[in-house]
Amino acid sequence: MQSMKNEAKGLSRIASAYKFSMQGLKSCYQSEAAFRQEIWLSVILIPSVFWLSDSSIEQVLLIFPIALVLIVEVLNSAIESVVDRIGDEYHSLSGTAKDMGSAAVWLSLMLVVVVWSIILI
């Protein structure tokens, strides 16, 4: 079955995807304090990796969980936006979805702590 909408192809599709991705990052940065804090923390931590680590493998292992925190935070923000779009009234499933997104962010932050502790101690 063919789609009714006129979809971009090739490089045009890639350019559109990039544009939408940048809009998503901008929106997340503007609307989510936690994302802003994590961005600024990564601006501090990522350059310090090259001073603190002894090998390329250690550098990758230290940077990866920081990037994962940012990815998980964007996904959590997307979940929250969809839940908020559905309605303002309380529903246990909405609360559960938001709590699970928050738990995912917390787990990714704990991964940063564990990986950095193992490598640097």
Residue 1's pLDDT band (cuts 50, 70, 90)? very low
Start-to-end CA distance of the chain, whole Å, equals: 57
| CATH 3.40.50.300, domain 32-120, yes or no | no
The residue-averaged pLDDT of 78-104 equals 94
- Decide if pLDDT at 83 tops 90: yes
Q: Encode pLDDT of 33-44 as tens digits.
A: 999 999 999 999
Contacts 24+ apart (CB under 8 A), 60-66: 61/115, 61/119, 62/115, 62/116, 62/119, 64/115, 65/108, 65/111, 65/112, 65/115, 65/116, 66/41, 66/42, 66/112
Domain ranges of the chain: 32-120
Cα angle value 35/67/19 (rounded, 5°): 70
The residues that are catalytic are 73
Phi and psi dihedrals of 85, rounded to 5?
Answer: -65, -35
